Amino acid sequence: MNSEHNVVQIALFTALIAALGLVPQLTLAFGVPITAQSLGIMLCGTVLGARRGGLAALLFIGLVALGLPLLAGGRGGLGVFTSPTAGFALGFPVAAFATGWVMERLSGVTVVLAAGIAAVLGGVVVLYAFGISGMAIVLGRSLTEAALLVTAFIPGDAVKAVLAGIITAALYRARPHSVFSRS
């Protein structure tokens, strides 16, 4: 593994998170169009591991701040960080890192289970902790009230965590050396 591969891998995963949120054909069909962007964050951790996955998500959110419309629905710019959903955006790198961290610690478990657990803990628990805090601050509500506002989205994200497990396992079969969290 050389440093070029490292940088390119991180950059391509960042582009992947963006593409998952922007390409309408890639929305997960559950009746309502749910974008796959937070799935991208989970996959960063389960595939790239804590450090690289966290860096990819950090680069993503950094470019959003610089003014690139990379968030789902073409949102972006500094306004994202003062809006009620700021916590989710700021939580992306931490969530990806946490997902990768858990993934790396579950090396004794099968890939599909390890990735699923890691995605739930990092991509749902950690991400929502940030998201709810941000919403509570911007909207001037208590944490419980803010949590009530986002409960509707939790089932969808739990499904994405399951998908992250399945996708990571399939990827591990197709390109074992590319799943760094396992090598």
Partner 1 sequence: MISLTSPVKTRAHGWPAGGKLLALCVVSVVLFAVPDLMFQFAAAMSVVLLYALPGRVFLRHGLRRIWPLWPFVVVLLVWHVFTDAWAEGVVIALRMLTAVALANLVTMTTSLQAMMDVVSWLLRPFARFGVNVRAIELAAAMVIRFTPVLGEKGTALALAWRARSRRPAGWRVIVPFMVLALDDAGHVSEALRARGGIEMDKKS
Chain residues binding partner 1 by CB under 8 A are 2-5, 7-16, 18-20, 22-23, 25-26, 28-29, 36, 39, 43, 47, 59-60, 62-63, 66-70, 73-84, 138-140, 149, 163, 167, 170-171, 174-175, 178
Nearest distance, CB of residue 77 and partner 1, angstroms: 3
Q: CB-wise, 108 or 163, nearer to partner 1?
A: 163
Quick check: 17 and 99 in contact, CB under 8 A? no
Q: CB-wise, 79 or 155, nearer to partner 1?
A: 79
Q: CB-wise, 22 or 109, nearer to partner 1?
A: 22
C-alpha span between 101 and 33 (Å, rounded): 30
Nearest distance, CB of residue 71 and partner 1, angstroms: 11
